[in-house]
Chains A and B, each alone.
Chain A
């Protein structure tokens, strides 16, 4: 709380420091001072601003600080406290998601496909408040094969036909009509065949004209069962769930590119945990953000407190070269220019022999190399190159 007469003064003061401090801090200062339960005088405003500046400048990181090692330790050290238990509920009972140490390892490994790919799909205004509408989107997304709506199948050698009994319950659950199934089967290239309705409306007789062997029929049945009726590849299940005010779709499996093309999906809010997919469809910057976000998610879930700056440093180094690189032999470390640094990490002999064949030069710039030959490293106090030679008397 401040006197109305002091308001202008505060504005002026904040204007003065706006070039030094980030905008967020300035706004925060304004809010905190105006809304404080006690009255704040002019002198106190001065004091607060002075202290803010001092606090900021004394919090700045010092040149030479080994930011990388600190970041690595800050993420690695809590790793020992994490549970190994792989599965945890992901908001919905129906789905399990890898979390904890295995997920963290998966992220720094930059695996192409996570062990439990998952998406959270938000819907546009039109669809998000109606459960039925949300379900219709979910059904469009969910990958459905003939197999998943079939109750049983049989083979009729007499008429050389594959008989399919559909499960009406499943048809309804998946939102599939019998016509959808016939349409999908018709598109198949199985030679000449004809689809007839069987004993009831849920039975289909698929009669082959030129089929001469029973094994052919069996093969055809396999083909028919694995035919896609609708949905996106890779999405095994899509579940609609109420999230606060709106309905969201949570999927088992991920297909970002496909989901972005579905009507009703709020394209700006689609989430997936598949790093590679995000990198390919949305670009490297999005991939970088996602790495940091996913690491943060794992640590938060375990109740471990790690500063965001450390996590961002890891995601920055993983994406520095323009694609997502793994933390390890096939990525960041493997691409180091120093022979010794690579040899000291893994596959020692191969790196040495390759270096010999190529005639590489070890320049001793990095940390590992200099430790190997026992020279000071160029971090921290080792960074200083100016030295004084005292005159000897």
Chain B
């Protein structure tokens, strides 16, 4: 069958004739089922409207359930009612046209002119055309008298939601839908067009319903709840209401009931029809189910996040997907994903039988659905689908396999799948991985790919999708695979890279004092795949020959670097007292690589870390291909892990215990700050405090106190960290950027510092005090949430309370922020989704509008660039001649 492409969809309003034409039956009775439970003909569940039960054939089209699309019926409304969605349009039309002749209330000349302008701009400048229409409408509404028939116009009043009145001399006169329809009918097509409507597909009078389409049963299926009771869909309920009132209205009119009763019923019919379209009309009581639940009628089905558009059309539930908890596996490649066997047996890939794979596929078919690697279905050349669960002799069936068949085989190693973690905030939240079928029940992923997914293993779950066509598989493999997405388009730098233990390991390995024995070297290289020639060269010349052959860590790392790689730059540890600006560096914090040899400096976060643009890792990936980057990740980083396993790295209480001298110093500093604060308060009380312009005296005091206390904490941190051994585990982690910061160390070893809520010291709680432990009006540091204790020494109950208060704010903040930023991102994506780069380098929307004449001014893709630079000249010079420096 040829592939069909939808070229367009034309919108319009159904005319009564059309409604009747497409209807298979008029719905006339409000009873739905007779005593034995069969649907009554001529009711809203008329069998001709479509098949509801499996196995039955549709009396209208002869198809079975599933292939019968369902058929419309219709209700002949005894009296016309207004379509609630078009009230605004009806109101405008009534005001803009003459009440007698139905013409626009503009002279023929004017109309001619506007028509000419309109037809000229309609196609090219739709927004200008829209404004013209608005103008014409406004002018016509303004006119008090019809220039065509001279009729004096009355003011039309709309009483929401759908009652129209005319302010005549004798008072307010209600316009019934019949009156309105008569008026709208009189408007000539040409005038309708100038008001912006399409007279061919939506004549104004069609907005007043005389016949109501009854949708097919397929869109409002009744469900059987336990105990065999039938529960009807909300739409069906609403339709029954409409039919019932319609019936009663008809009877009343036929019986010649008083005008008042007829009008009441007419109003009721109008109400039901209105709520049938939309059950959330302001000013109307919502139509409710017997249980009191508001009915979900047509508008509600389309609207909102779970509505048809956003819930079912823009995003759909899919087959060939799986979801489970994730856990780490440092031993698989970064572009692999560990898939549990149970999952691999359910998810399938269709593979076409050829003469090259027939033997393998036969094997799968014989294995069947239960045994991995097997197959679940076979699709024969004639398109018939065989479920292998019910094939008695699979061996025999496998022998019938011929080229042209398609086998839906189990997921096997090396299959390409798409892996995703929500929230999918950027495109690297979905990347392609190669499957590795593993025992267990979780998806396994390499730790290095956590940053793009923002994943951790505290119970995170992730999704897996299996591309089902050759094209999809090819695209996933070529474009979405992990190592093609190591660089992020956000800033042009590696988003994948080492973190935590990888960094500590790299540092400990490359630090000057590290010497490894041959045995240790073998352990590290045992997990790596290094070409033998380069291996041999290095192994020949260890840094130390006697008494034992020892290699430096820098030698080990150099094994992995390309032989023409040059680099000069600072390491992460180059800060404070250990900062270095050039290769003359006693702290080993300046990295020098010449011709692929690490001569000086240590590897830490700045060298190999994730999200570090212009780092060694970035240049290696950019300059030596993504495949080399992949190799690097799978080898050098594994070696780091091996090393740290041998070396050992943990955190002990001793790591955050400071010397008694240091604590004495801190205590001294605390006393100093205390007296400073009390002096400030005293001066404030005396009114001697210097006011910051534009602030009140109280605010100024707060400012001063906060400054003083902030200094106190910084100084204490300084005292604490300087008393720590630089090779103390915690300090190593903080300095190299592996985990934690100096602030964290300060809080553990020295003091937590000021706890704040909304950027201020904590001040609320009791009357004029935070807690009953303090005197009223106490604004000293400790009474307003300053914590002198450290995590190591422990917090007293009051401090614990303040800490919790500040912590709570953080939680609330996160919760609020996610929803706000989520909405902003949705809007940004919707606004920018249609842009693409054309072959000529311009940026245009898919509608053809030019946004930029040359992307970004230089045509450079940020992802491929060197941290956003058009060309990083300095780096290029370094690459060529760096070894001479």
Contact = CB atoms under 8 A, between A and B. Distances in A.
A binds B: yes
Interface of A: 21-22, 24-25, 28-29, 32-33, 36-40, 44, 47-48, 51-52, 55-56, 58-80, 82-85, 87, 93-95, 101, 104-105, 108, 237, 239, 252, 305-310, 312-314, 316-317, 320-321, 327-328, 331-333, 335-337, 339-341, 343-345, 348-349, 352-353, 355-368, 371-373, 375, 378-381, 383
Given A55-B871, A317-B851, A358-B197, A84 B126 contact: no
B824 A344 contact: no
A39 B884 contact: yes
A76 B820 contact: no
A79 B819 CA distance: 10
Give the 4 A-B residue pairs with the shortest CB-CB distance, closest first: A359-B198, A68-B835, A76-B825, A68-B832
Contact of A22 (B841, B851, B858): B858
A95 B830 contact: no
Interface in B849-866: 849, 851-852, 855-866
Given A32-B873, A83-B813, A69 B829 contact: yes
Nearest to B833: A367
B578 interface: no
Interface stretch (B486-494, B600-608, B710-718): B486-494
A278 to B, nearest CB: 21
B437 to A, nearest CB: 29
B836 interface: yes
B49 to A, nearest CB: 23
Nearest to A72: B828
10 contacts: A72-B832, A77-B425, A79-B824, A83-B813, A327-B831, A343-B302, A358-B196, A362-B8, A366-B846, A380-B479
A68 B833 contact: yes
Interface in B167-205: 196-198, 200-202
Contact of B871 (A21, A36, A79, A313): A21
A82 B821 contact: yes
B198 A25 contact: no
A320 B613 CA distance: 32
B92 to A, nearest CB: 10
B838 interface: yes
B138 interface: no
Given A37-B885, A70-B489, A359-B202, 20 more contacts: A39-B884, A51-B876, A60-B861, A66-B833, A70-B427, A75-B828, A76-B426, A80-B817, A87-B759, A305-B491, A307-B491, A307-B868, A309-B856, A317-B851, A328-B827, A337-B847, A341-B830, A344-B314, A348-B304, A363-B7
Contacts of A71: 828, 832, 835
Interface stretch (B9-17, B241-249, B260-268): B9-17
B879 interface: yes
A210 B84 CA distance: 60
A68 B319 CA distance: 29
A344 B308 CA distance: 9
Contact of B12 (A310, A314, A359): A359
B21 interface: no
B876 A66 contact: no
A36 B880 CA distance: 12
Given A357-B13, A357-B202, A359-B11, A239 B817 contact: no
A314 B828 contact: yes
Nearest to A40: B881
Contact of A313 (B202, B475, B695, B832): B832
B299 interface: yes
User: Which of B89, B822, B849, B881 has the most chain A CB atoms inside 10 A of its CB?
Assistant: B881
B837 interface: yes
Given A25-B870, A76-B821, A314-B828, A368 B833 contact: yes
B137 to A, nearest CB: 13
A71 to B, nearest CB: 6
Contacts of A78: 490
Contacts of B112: none
A316 B851 contact: yes
B42 to A, nearest CB: 29
A48 B489 CA distance: 26
Interface in B280-315: 299, 302-304, 307, 309-310, 313-314
Contacts of B425: 73, 76-77, 80
A352 B11 contact: yes
A48 B837 contact: no
Nearest to B198: A359
Given A33-B877, A64-B837, A348-B303, A361 B9 contact: yes
User: Which of B834, B843, B847, B868 has the most chain A CB atoms inside 10 A of its CB?
Assistant: B834
A75 B825 CA distance: 8
Contacts of B797: none
B860 A59 contact: yes
A360 B11 contact: yes
A61 B855 contact: yes
Contacts of A314: 828, 832
A364 B314 contact: no
Contacts of A340: 9, 309
B197 A357 contact: yes
A175 to B, nearest CB: 14
A52 B820 CA distance: 43
B767 interface: no
B588 interface: no
Contact of A66 (B304, B813, B825, B836): B836
Given A67-B835, A357-B197, A378 B314 contact: no
Contact of A361 (B8, B493, B851, B884): B8
A356 B833 contact: no
B309 A94 contact: no
Contacts of B9: 339-340, 361-362, 364
B874 interface: yes
B839 interface: yes
A333 B831 contact: yes
A60 B871 CA distance: 10
Given A25-B871, A56-B870, A306-B490, A312 B856 contact: yes
Contact of A72 (B813, B825, B849, B855): B825
Contacts of A37: 885
Contacts of B870: 22, 24-25, 56, 59
Given A74-B426, A306-B490, A372-B313, A94 B824 contact: no
Given A82-B821, A306-B491, A309-B868, A359 B836 contact: no
B89 A357 contact: yes
B139 interface: no
B85 A61 contact: no
Contacts of B868: 307-309
Interface in B52-74: none
B722 interface: no
B703 interface: yes
Given A108-B824, A328-B827, A366-B847, A355 B11 contact: yes
B836 A378 contact: yes
Given A305-B491, A309-B855, A77 B426 contact: yes
Contacts of B303: 348-349
Nearest to A25: B871
A240 to B, nearest CB: 10
A52 B876 contact: yes
A51 B881 CA distance: 12
Nearest to A49: B876
A80 B833 contact: no
B697 to A, nearest CB: 14
Given A63-B837, A87-B759, A320 B849 contact: yes
Interface string B472-485: 00010001000000
Contacts of B820: 79, 84, 101, 105
B545 interface: no
B694 interface: yes
Nearest to B831: A332
A282 B841 CA distance: 30
B491 A352 contact: no
